[in-house]
Structure 1
């Protein structure tokens, strides 16, 4: 029995509510990282302005730090849901596509962390939605993007390639101009000793999508390119993927510059998959079903590890190898210090000092604090998750 379109719509909003509630739970489990602290106390970028504005209105806490990016995540999902209206043959396919999109590990991570990726994702979908509704490019938006983030140079380049195919001279001129200006303003770092990070980049993409989903993404991009199904979204995703892999031959890339333009291809992947499934007779669909369930299982595991990753400390010999370690312990350290009436410290860990500043621990000379092993100390306090010591705090009274 198939569900009505309205039923799928209600299910979509119900699942979105559940996902958002879990993300808000995850906010409470994270500590501010060093790079995030730089955006709060040192930098003057767009991220800094957004974060500082949120802190001004909501106070200096983890919720205020991350809520702007949760809002951009919410808007991105709703906008993608609207963008894919009339994109699929039936509402069930659209529902499956948007649910997978909203739980992509890379998108969930971008929603939780202070970074530009979720902003770029939202603005890119917004641009595509504008193009779909009004059937024309919004040049004012493109100019605005120039001042938002350096990664939009990829978008300018992709729009240029698409305009070449369509022989749109106006778009060719504008996108080339914006791309050149973007390169003059930002550029891409190509310095340093050449080193290959191609395998690393594939690994990061696999973590953004989940492994099997990324393999299918790679196949879908290739298949649509060979078959000539190259619309503007294909050019955006293919250009981003190609340049990220190309740069990886020489250096480690900032995946935040490329991932937002890659994840927007997900609806095309899902549509291709359902088409490939339905052209086969039922008795020849078993392999597709097996692959689907394996893909969904891996995706589910990745989602769980994205939100509930602290139990991984139980199986890691070295806690610092945990992928989220740089977003842990600072909040616990601040709580321990406050419980011992210590509000001013000095440390041999400059990054920890800046992180603790967010939680009200100021720089002073009464106490020396470190998570590095000390020859002598007044207090030694373990920091534990699930009864597993992940760090040890050493306190010395000066």
Structure 2
């Protein structure tokens, strides 16, 4: 690879800038969702353990809630940077690849939410880095992954197919055993009738990547197949993609289980693009320039909407249709209650009660909080974004 140290500094500066943006977003723009509140107060999963350790150390606040996943984002970016060392001919190509990886809408979103996707990305990249560095599989990591999340069954299945291709008997048996144990522990939902979720799955993937980048992903993964350029990453990504599409024929695919294994294919995609671009004379690069322009344009829009999405409420007739509606309003509602000197309420919405608990609004008998307008004297609490009323609750004094 032709090196240029300035791109190394560009990478670290970009990562530092994006980390700052993520921390700012975590502290100012998001409220805890019901699923996240379950992980804090009810569940006993690895997510709960990680989140509660952070809250114990840094206090019960939004930064502490999301900080572990931002750290996983940082470590994942660093691992991808190490994995792509000597992968591209030019250091500039490597930087562009890593930058696009870091600003993928799905990758950014996963780093801001309490979910397993960012952990899966990190663990998979760690495994690939070990494999690349030592040219052997880490069976210890594979065993540890078994207790982290059910979706590592996808990785085990991919390694099984990879072992068949390479006639690796040891990997074949170990991956098959780990896959079987994972299925036994966690199971796999198979019920339901065909309901057209295949289109939904494609739409979610297009959101994770951005539309044109996802289309190019489909092209490159097919091209690698017919050109016999199938490496370990290819097996992981194609297994996750095909399995998610198969599941979609019967039920809605839980995309957080599959997308982490798909996005790691990005460097291979861009290596293919750069090679195809540079082997052509300038006058024959028009369609590649158009494709690059469309990808950058759509990716930019998706990134902007990931960080700045509240203005969308101004054009949506139904606020609940906003794609991050479940992560808004509750923090502001808790602040309004605190301004009134209220630290405890009873509510008919148990999901809301659990979310308010994170913001130190506990269960109490003096006030009743409801989203319905009953014929009782009440205080009307209105939450507005950019001057538009989007959320209303009613506070009734009981005692």
* TM bracket (short chain): over 0.9
Cα drift, residue 100 of structure 1:
0.1
The residue aligned with 2:10 is 11
- d(CA) in 1 for partners of 2:377 and 2:77? 50
2:132 corresponding residue in structure 1:
132
Residues 224-266 of structure 1 deviation map (CA, whole Å, 9 limit, x = unaligned): 1111111110000000000001100110111110011000000
**Distance in 1 (alpha carbons) for counterparts of 2:374 and 2:247:** 42
Per-residue deviation, 1:372: 3.3
Q: Is contact 1:356–1:362 with CA below 8 Å preserved after alignment?
A: yes
- Three-state SS of the structure 2 residue aligned to 1:258 is helix
Q: RMSD of aligned C-alpha atoms?
A: 1.1
Query: CA contact under 8 A between 2:3 and 2:90: conserved in structure 1?
Result: no
1:187, distance to aligned residue in structure 2 (A): 1.8
Matched ranges for 1:349-368 at <5 A: 349-368=349-368
Tell me the residue number matched to 2:236: 236
Question: Is residue 318 from structure 1 mapped to residue 315 from structure 2 by the alignment?
Answer: no
Offset of residue 290 of structure 1? 1.3
Instruction: State the partner residue of 1:305.
Output: 305
- CA drift of 1:192 comes to 3.4
1:162–1:232 CA contact under 8 A, matched in 2 = yes
CA contact (8 A) 1:377 1:394 kept: no
Q: Distance between the aligned counterparts of 1:325 and 1:339, measured in 2?
A: 24
Q: Is the 8 A contact 1:205 1:214 kept in 2?
A: yes
Partners of 1:35 and 1:322 lie apart in 2 by: 17
How many residue pairs are counted as aligned between the two chains? 396
Alignment of 1:167 onto 2:167: yes
Cα–Cα, structure 1 residues 271 and 377, in superposed 2: closer, same or farther, change >3 Å?
farther
Give the structure 1 partner of residue 224 of structure 2. 224
Offset of residue 342 of structure 1? 1.2
Q: Give the structure 1 partner of residue 19 of structure 2.
A: 20
Checking the alignment, whether the CA contact within 8 Å between 1:212 and 1:295 is kept in structure 2 is: yes
- CA offsets 1:63-98 (integer angstroms, 9 cap, x no match): 000000000000000110010000001101101000
Deviation at 1:275? 1.0
- Quote the offset at 1:18 in angstroms: 1.1
Residue in structure 2 matched with residue 154 of structure 1 by the alignment? 154
Residue 372 of structure 2 is matched in structure 1 by 372
**Equivalent residues of 1:344, 1:366 under 8 A apart:** yes
Report if the CA contact (8 A) 2:191-2:250 is conserved.
no
Q: CA deviation at 1:374?
A: 3.3
Question: Partners in 1 of 2:375 and 2:8 — Cα distance?
Answer: 62
**Native 8 Å contact 1:26 1:308 kept in 2:** no
Q: CA deviation at 1:365?
A: 1.6
SS of residue matched to 2:348: coil
Q: Which residue of 1 aligns with 2:333?
A: 333
Report what 2:114 is aligned to: 114
For 2:346, the equivalent position in structure 1 comes to: 346
SS at match of 1:118: helix
The Cα of 1:308 is off from its aligned counterpart by 1.0
Runs (5+) with no aligned partner, structure 2: none
Instruction: Determine the structure 2 residue equivalent to 1:57.
Output: 57
1:392 alignment counterpart? 392
Question: SS of 1:368's equivalent?
Answer: strand
Distance 1:193 1:346 in 2: 40
- Once the two structures are superposed, residues 143-178 of structure 1 have per-residue CA deviations (whole angstroms, 9 ceiling, x without a partner) of 001001000000000000000000000100000000
Q: Which residue of 1 aligns with 2:69?
A: 69
- Contact between 1:32 and 1:62, CA under 8 Å: does it hold in 2? yes
Q: Which runs of 4+ in 1 moved over 4 A?
A: none
Partner of 1:246: 246
1:258-285 deviation per Cα after TM superposition (whole angstroms, max 9, x unaligned): 0110000000000000111112111010
Relative to 1, partners in 2 of residues 1:393 and 1:15: Cα closer, same or farther, differing over 3 Å? same
Q: Which moved more, 1:290-299 or 1:363-372?
A: 363-372
Once residues 84 and 193 of structure 2 are traced to their aligned partners in structure 1, the CA distance between those partners, rounded to angstroms, is 44
What is the Cα deviation at residue 4 of structure 1?
6.0
